[in-house]
Amino acid sequence: MPEQSLPQATAPTGASPETSSSPGVSRRALLGTAGATGLVLGAAGAAVGYAAAPSQAAPLSSLGADMAMFHGKHQPGITDGLQAKGHLVAFDLAPGAGRKEAAALLRRWSATAERLMAGESASSDDTYVARDAGPSSLTVTFGFGHSFFSRTGLEKQRPASLDPLPDFSSDHLDKARSDGDLWVQIGADDALVAFHALRAIQKDAGSAAKVRWQMNGFNRTPGATAHPMTARNLMGQLDGTRNPKPADADFDQRIFVPASGSGDPAWMANGSYAVVRRIRMLLDDWEKLSLTAQENVIGRRKSNGAPLSGGSETTAMDLEKTDAKGDLVVPLNAHARISRPDQNGGAAILRRPFSYHDGIDADGAPDAGLLFVCWQADPLRGFVPLQRKLDRGDALSKYIRHEASGLFAVPGGAAKGEYVGQRLLEG
């Protein structure tokens, strides 16, 4: 599968001692200077600092102190690097709840997300699950499903780009785990921080909305490798190599809705569309393949992600190269060949997935795979043509099964003093 690169992360070089348990100390205060510098003290230095200033906590490692911004042009959790732990959750508005209740809910959710992402407690009844941790790169992202607009009387504001996705031959969709009025994506580099945010969001929903479905995912922890590198999925493949990069000249055009001229309603300016798919990997079948067969299915070396035509992970794939027998080195049905933008009319998506493992079936098969999340300015020009092409002849299709699906309109970021979706709900 095309890959997502991880941002550079500094591995902790020492463990900090237990922090002060005095009441009234916020998680932000616990960060000390680490929030600004990512400084990590050695064991001796930490002990001396703690003894000299008992009212100050020792700095956290850079992993815990890393902080994403809630307010901005775009919502967090789109261009941020992959996080070690993630939760995806969809809600349906409660019977009788409408636009007023939805606005109050998004206001509560935005306030909670801003506090948690800054390393503060959720509210006066915080559960203390993440009391000892820093923000840990926490991001919370909110989106609206197709059904949200009829539930709130806002049908005229529903974007045409939010029309339901077409059926695909690899779909075996569970409707109970698909779609939803509201969607929340939570990611963090600490599992307790991520769970704390999930629990806070669920509690904030109150009587306004009920959970429709919820999924848990994970990635490699930043700093676990000797140097920053592209993540691997549960098939062992590097996953996200050809992801668009913010430095690309056409990145914003492909990933974000422009402020004008797109045909989308004004409230979607600087927003994006998230396609969410629970893709089960048939690992027992996959792992029976030889290494060579697996590489032919993908079109890349399993060891380093290099194309079968040669070079390194980032080397351009030579689609015309043949071997001594005259056969194409990269098979015609290889996943990496078929998913290339230049093989799909320029269709491009920003992949930002999580792996998942939900136990082992009675027959011993792992219920595991990918919580596929991709971002684009228009799904009809991004995910849909790409998936249609994959549907017609991708060698990987034999080893995966799409079991749940959703499409969500994710508005632009909230300005200071605003909540996410305010321009839709109060416009």
The residues that are catalytic are 239
**Angle ∠(262,336,222) on CA atoms, nearest 5:** 80
Distances (CA, A) of 341 to 54, 320, 329, 348: 57, 16, 19, 6
Contact 160, 379 (CB under 8 A): no
> What's the rounded Cα separation, in Å, for the pair 190 and 335?
32
**Beta-bridge partners for 87:** 186, 216
Half-sphere exposure of 8 (CA within 13 A, CB side): 1
Residue 407: which residues within 8 A CB-CB, separation 6 or more? Answer: 145, 146, 162, 164, 165, 179, 273, 274, 275, 276, 379
Contact 68, 117 (CB under 8 A): yes
Cβ atoms within 10 Å, residue 366? 16
Contact 237, 300 (CB under 8 A): yes
